[in-house]
Structure 1
Amino acid sequence: MSAFSNRRCPECGSLSTGLPESPPSMGETFDPSVEPETRHYALLTSNEPPEESESTFIQSLISKTDAPLARLDKEISKLQEHLKMLEEAREFLRGYRTWNKAIFSPLRRIPPEVLREIFSWTLPSIRDALHSGRFEMGQSPWVLTQVCSRWRAVSISTPSLWSQVAIDYPQNLRTSSTYSLSLVEAQIQRSQKLKIHFYGNHKMDSRVQIQMFELLSQHSSHWEELSIGLTSAIAPLLTSLRDRIPSLARLWIQWDGWQGQIGIPSIDCFETAPSLVDVGVLNKHRFLPILLPAYQLTRYEVDCPWEEHRRILTQTLGLIEARVYVDFDEEPWPDPNEIIGLLQLQRLYVSDPQILRYLMAPALKGLALLGAPEDGSELLSHFHSFLDRSSCRLQRLCFRGHPTPSTTTEILQKCPSITELVLVHDDDNARESINALIASLTVSNLPKSTVVAPHLELVYVGCPEESYIDYAAFLEMLESRWKAENCALKTAALVIEDGPGPDPRTCAGLLGLHAEGLNLLLLDGVAAQDEMECWSFSASWN
C-alpha cells in the first residue's frame, strides 16, 4: 500500500499538492488506501475522466464515506460542546481571578481627595456639553455614579463636579426638550455653587424652555456664572433675578436672533448684583441697554455705541481687561474733550483705533487692534498719542484684520518694550499684507542689513478661517530669527482653524526648531479658534 501526495480541488477535481504521506485512520469499517499502478490510482492522480463502467465503482467508494463522516461529525460535535464547557469554565476562573486580584488594586487606596481631583479632569468642556443637546448618562459626572459604590459616594459628595449646568436648545432641534427636569434638580441638589449655561431657541416650544429656566432661577442665589442666549420669551423672566443673585461673578448675554430682542426695552436686573465683576454682552442685531454695576467691574466686553461705552468706562474703578467694540453708532466721533483714565487696565481690545483718542491706560501691557490697510497713518497717529498720554510700557501688540507691514514695523521699531507680536488675519484680502509682514520680519543674510524688532521674544500667527499664509516663508522667518545672534525669539505659534496646514517639509522644519528649544505651538480646528479668541482678550467659558 502506498499513499498518494497529490490532492484534487473539491470544486473541479484538478490536482494539487499537499496530501499527508499516510492516510488518517478511519476505523475498521473504512480503508481509504489506494494501491499504486491501479486504475483507481490513475484516476486519482490524473485529470482523466472515468469510463462508464468505472463510475459504479467510484460511486460506491464515495458512498462508503457517508457513515464514517457522520460518525466523525458526531464526535466533533461532542468535542465542540466539551470545548465550549472548558472555555466557559476558563472565563469564569479568569473573572474570579480578576475579581480577587482587584482586592489589591491601588485604586482602593487612593484617598477621596485624590479621586475628586481625577474626577474633575473627566468633566466635558462647555462646548462639548452644549453640543450634546442632552444630559449624557455615559458622560462625566453622571457615569462616575455607575462604576461602584465608592465612586458613587465620592462623586455625589463632590459639589464641584455638579456645578456646571449646560442646557442648549439648538436651532436644528424642533421637538420637545431632551433635558429632564428631574435630572437638573438632582444635579442642583448635589452642587453648592452653580455655573449656568442656558441657550434658548425661539423656534421651539417656549413653555419647555420657560419651565427649565424657572427651575434654575429658583436656585439663583447659588449662581456664580451665567452664560445665556435670550429669546423674547426668556428675557422677561430676568426681572425676577433682581436682588436674588448675590454670588454671580461672571455674566455673558447674547440673543437668539433678532427676534429675541423684540419687545425688550432694556435689562436692569444685574445692576444690583454685588459680586458681578466680569461682563460680556453680544448685541449683534441691535443695541439694547443693559444696566451694569460698572464701578465694580474688572472685565468688560460689549458691542454698543461709543456713548454707551463712555458712560460705562467713566464709572469703572478697577477695570483690568476690556474689549471695546463700537457698533450701532450712526453719529460721528465726538471731540475728545475728556480723557477717560483707566488706571488699572492691563489688557485692551478696540474695534477702531479712534477709540484710543479718548483713553489713558498707564498700566496697559497688552493692546489688540482691529485694523484695515487704509488705517495706516491714522492708526499710527492715534497709537503714538495714546502711548505718550498713557506712559505705559506695552509688552504685547495684537493685530486682527489687515496689518500693513510699514505700520507694524514702525510701531515695533519705535516701541522696544513690545516683545510679543500677535497677528490674526481672516480673509483673502489680507494675504498680501500678512506675507509681506512675515518677509519684513525675516532676518537677511546680507551684511549691514537692518533687523526689524530684534527684541521680539514671541511671534504668534493665526488664521480664523482658511489660511492664506506662505508657510515656507513663515518657517524661514522663524529660522532666521532663531539662529540670529542678536534676536530674542523664544516662543512662536501657528494656529489654523480651517483649511490645509503646512506641507510635510515645513512641518518637519517647524518641529526641528522645537527640538532645538523654540517654544512652539501648533493648533488647528476648534482648539485653534479658542486660542485665537484669547489672543484678543475675548472671554473663555470653558
Structure 2
Amino acid sequence: MNVPAPGFLVNLFVTDEEAREVRETMQQNQLLMASLDAEIAKAQAALRQLVSQRTEAQKLLESNSAPSDTEVKAIREIIRSKEREMEKLEGEVAEARAALNAMIDRRAEVVEESGPSSSAVDKFDADIEGARSVLKEHSSLPFVAFPPEVLGEIFVHCLPRDTLFIKTSLKDCPLLLTQISSTWRSVALATPALWTSIEVKLSVNSCLPNLALIKTWIARSGSCPLSFYIEESIQKDYYEEGMITSAAILQLYAPHYHRWRNIRLQYQDWRIDTGFLKLPRDTPPQSLESLHLARDFWQPAEYDQLSLMLSAPRLRNCTWVSNTDLGTFHAPFPQLTTLYLERPLIAEDFMHILSEGARIESCQFFVLASAGSNFTRPSYPVLSHNLRSLDLTADLFGPLFNQLELPCLTHISLRRFDIVPHPAPVWPHQEFMSLLTRSKCSLEQISLSDMDISPDQMIDCIRHTSPSLEKLILTNDRRMRHVIVNDDVLRLLTWTTPDAGGSHLNVCPRLSMVKFWNCHSSSDGVITDMVESRWKARDGGPVKLLNIAFLMLEKTTHPEDLRRLDMLNEGRVGISIIRR
C-alpha cells in the first residue's frame, strides 16, 4: 500500500487503487479551488472598477459644475441601486464559496467512511459542480451577458471625460479594461474607438509611452479619427543623434494624416526639427477639428505646411502660442468657434479678428491697447458680437470696452498686463458697467486678476450681475496690496432669512464658487458668516449652495474665521484656505 502524503487522510481498509482515486480527486479539488480563486479575483477587480466609477459619480455630485436637483436625485438613486447590487453580489459569492468549502470537506469525510465510489460521493460531486457554476456566474458579472457591441459601447463611456488625450496607464481606461478578464480583453482590443487618443511626452531620457506601444495604439484604432498630444521638452544643446523627438512620432502618424482630428503639439526648443516637412503637402487634414500649437518661433520652411493645416475645412478650435504672427498663415477666423492667442496684439488687430470671426464663441487675447494709433477715434464703430467667453489680458481696458457689445457673454476673465501699482486707479468702472448695460448679458462668471477695482465698485458689479452670477474670482499679485473685498462686500454676499429683519436684500442666489486671493481685508468672523450662510441648506436659502471657496487668511487676525471654516469643511469639503 502506498504511503499517504503528509496531511492526506485515507481509509486504511480501501485498496491501493481506491486510495489513488481519492488522491486524484482531492488534487482535482485543489485545482478547482485555485480556479475559483482566480475567478473570484476577476470578480473583485470588476467590483473595484464599479466602486471607482461610483466614487467618480459621487465627486460629480460635489463638483463645481453641479447637476440640477432632479439630476442629483436620479444619480443618487442609481448609486444606491448599484451599491445594493454589489452588496448582494458580494454576499452571494461569499455564501457560495463557503458552501463549496463545506461540501469539499464533507466529501473527504464521506470518502473516508464509504469509499470513493459510493452514491453519496456522486451526489457531492454534483453539488460541488453546481456551486462552481454559481461562482462562475457571479465572477463574470452582468456585463458578460451583453453582446460584444454593447459591451464595447459601455467601455467607450468609461474613457476619461475631462481630456481629449488619454494617458497610457494600467490603472486607467482603456488599458485597465484589458486586465479584468479574457472576455473584456478581447472586446476592448476589438473596439477601435478606445484607441483613438493618446498623450506622448518626450524628454532627453525617455519617450512615454514607447514607440512600440504608440504603433500598437494606432493599429488598434482601425479607421477612427485620431487625437494625439505630443509634448517635447528637449533642448537643442542636449540633443544627440538617434534621440526620439516629435518628428519620429509624427512619422508614425503621417500615413494616417487624413484621420487627424484633435492635435496638440508643444515644443520647448524651436531649433529642433518638428517633422512637419515630411507630412503630406497636397491637401489639408480633412478631419482636423482642433489644433493646438505651442512653439516660440516657426521656421519659414514650415510656413506652407502650417498654412495647409490651418486651412483644414473642419477646423473649429485653434490655440496659437508663438511669437510668430498667426496672421502670416491666413488663419481661418470666419470658421473658428474657439480661438486662444498668447501673442500680443494691437487693439486694431483684436477688433479685426473679432469682426472676421463672427462664429467665435470663446476666445483668449493679449491686447496692448495703448499701441493702437487710431483705435480710440470717436468714429470707430461699436462691434456687436456673440462671444460667450472672453479671456482678456490688456494694458488698457476702457477703449476696448467702449467698442464692444456682447449680448451672449456669460464668462469674462480680465487680467491687467502692467501690475506695477499706479498712483491713480486704472480700473475702467464706468466703461465696464456701460458694456454690461449695453450688452444686456447674463454673466455667470467674473474673474479679475491684478485689478484695482474698489469695494464700492465691486458692490456695483455684484448687484448688476446678481441674478445670474455663479462664480466670483478675485486675485491680485501680493505686491499690489490692494483691497477689493471688505466687510461691506462680504455682508452684501451674506444670505439672510426673510424673518431676520432689516432692509438687507439678498443677492446672487446662484453663487456656487468664490475665490479671494490677496485682495481681502475684513473683521474676524465676517467672511465665515458669508460662507456659512451659503454652505448649509435651509428654508428660504439660495437657489444654489456654495460648494467651493478659496480663501487666504492671516492666522493672527482671523483665528475665529479659521476655526469655523475648518468646522464647515469637516462637514462637507470644498473650502481651501491659505494660512499666512
User: Matches of residues 124-135 of structure 1 in structure 2 within 5 Å?
Assistant: 135=168
Q: Contact between 1:464 and 1:498, CA under 8 Å: does it hold in 2?
A: yes
**Share of identical aligned residues, percent?**
19
Distance 2:309 2:432 in 1: 34
Tell me by how many angstroms 1:302 deviates: 1.1
- Is the counterpart of residue 361 in structure 1 residue 391 in structure 2? no
Give the residue type in structure 1 aligned to 2:287.
S
Mapped contact 1:368–1:398 kept (Cα < 8 A): yes
For residues 344-379 of structure 1, the C-alpha deviation after alignment (integer angstroms, 9 at most, x for no partner) is 222222223333233222222332222578685642
Q: In the alignment, what sits opposite 1:381?
A: 430
C-alpha contact (below 8 Å) 1:156/1:190 kept by paired residues: yes
Check conservation: 1:271, 1:292, Cα contact below 8 A: yes
Q: What is the CA-CA distance between 1:194 and the residue it aligns to?
A: 1.0
**Superposition pairs of residues 81-92 of structure 1, within 5 angstroms:** 92=31
Counterpart residue identity of residue 213, structure 1:
L
Select the residue among 456, 459, 469 that pairs with 1:419.
469
Measured in 1, the distance between the counterparts of 2:198 and 2:495 equals 54
Shifted more, 481-490 versus 396-405: the winner is 481-490
User: Judging changes above 3 Å, is the alpha-carbon distance between structure 1 residues 246 and 487 closer, same or farther for their aligned structure 2 residues?
Assistant: same
The one-letter amino acid of 1:413's match is: R
- Residue 186 of structure 2 aligns to a residue whose secondary structure is helix
Q: Is the contact made by 1:141 and 1:161 (CA closer than 8 Å) also made in structure 2?
A: yes
Q: Does 1:229 align with 2:275?
A: no
Structure 2 residue runs without a partner (length 5+): 10-22, 40-131, 556-560
Following the alignment from structure 1 to structure 2, what is the Cα–Cα distance between the partners of residues 299 and 467? 34
- Residues 431 and 120 (structure 1), Cα distance of their counterparts in 2 relative to 1, 3 Å cut: farther
Within 5 Å, which residues of 2 pair with 1:98-497? 98=37, 99=39, 100=132, 101-104=135-138, 105-106=140-141, 107-120=143-156, 123=159, 135-136=168-169, 140-169=173-202, 173-175=203-205, 177-191=207-221, 192-203=224-235, 204-205=239-240, 208-230=245-267, 231-232=269-270, 233-235=272-274, 237=276, 240=279, 243-255=283-295, 258=296, 261=298, 267-283=306-322, 289=327, 290-304=329-343, 305-306=345-346, 307-326=348-367, 334-335=375-376, 337-339=379-381, 341-352=383-394, 353-354=397-398, 355-370=400-415, 378-402=427-451, 403-425=453-475, 427-429=477-479, 433=483, 435-436=485-486, 439-443=490-494, 451=504, 454-462=507-515, 473-480=526-533, 488=542, 490-494=544-548, 496=550
C-alpha distance in 2, partners of 1:335/1:215?
51
- Aligned letter for 1:420? E
- Aligned residue for 2:228, secondary structure, equals strand
Identify if the C-alpha distance between structure 1 residues 202 and 385 changes in structure 2 by more than 3 Å, giving closer, same or farther. same
Scaled by the length of structure 2, the TM-score of the pair is 0.61
The C-alpha deviation readout for 1:44-90, integer Å capped at 9, x for no partner, is xxxxxxxxxxxxxxxxxxxxxxxxxxxxxxxxxx97999xx9x9998
> Which amino acid in structure 1 is aligned with residue 366 of structure 2?
Y
Query: Judging changes above 3 Å, is the alpha-carbon distance between structure 1 residues 146 and 357 closer, same or farther for their aligned structure 2 residues?
Result: same
CA distance in 1, matches of 2:312, 2:151: 35
Distance change >3 Å, CA 292–CA 423, structure 1 → 2: same
2:165, 2:228 within 8 Å by CA — same for their partners in 1?
A: no
1:189 Cα deviation after fit: 2.4
* In structure 2, C-alpha distance between the alignment counterparts of 1:491 and 1:344, rounded to whole Å: 30
The answer to which of 221-230 and 262-271 deviates more is 262-271
Q: Deviations over 1:95-132 (max 9, x none)?
A: 244454224532432443553355346546888978x7
Q: Tell me if structure 2 keeps the 8 A contact 1:165–1:196.
A: yes
| 1:366–1:444 CA distance, 2 compared to 1 (3 A) | closer
Conservation of the 8 A alpha-carbon contact between 1:176 and 1:208: no
CA distance in 1, matches of 2:523, 2:289: 43
- Out of 502, 507, 529, the residue aligned to residue 566 of structure 2 is 507
Change (3 A) 1:450 1:199: farther
**Closer/same/farther in 2, CA of residues 442 and 308 from structure 1, 3 Å limit:** closer
- In 2, Cα distance between equivalents of 1:499 and 1:199: 37
Check whether the contact 2:382–2:402 (CA below 8 A) recurs between aligned residues. no
Residue 458 (structure 1) shift: 0.7
| Contact 1:265-1:288 at 8 Å conserved across structures | no
Residue identity matched to 1:198: I
Shift of 1:143: 4.5
1:128, 1:318 → 2: CA distance?
Answer: 22
Task: Please tell me whether the aligned partners of residues 443 and 451 of structure 1 are also in contact (alpha carbons under 8 angstroms).
Answer: no
Larger mean Cα displacement after TM superposition, 210-219 or 482-491: 482-491
Distance 1:416 1:110, change over 3 A: same
1:421 positional shift = 4.1
Give the 3-state SS of the residue equivalent to 1:398 in structure 2.
strand
RMSD over aligned Cα atoms: 4.6
Residue matched to 2:17: none
Query: Quick one: distance in 2 between partners of 1:469 and 1:113?
Result: 60
Aligned partners of 1:442 and 1:480 also within 8 Å: no
Amino acid at match of 2:174: P
* Contact kept in structure 2, 1:300 and 1:323, CA below 8 Å: yes
CA distance in 2, matches of 1:395, 1:478: 19
Q: How many residues align?
A: 430
How far residue 237 of structure 1 moved from its aligned partner, in angstroms, is 0.7
Q: Is contact 2:475-2:519 (8 Å) kept?
A: no
Larger radius of gyration: 1
Cα deviation for residue 510 of structure 1 reads: 4.9
Structure 1 residues not aligned, in runs of 5+:
1-77, 515-519, 526-542
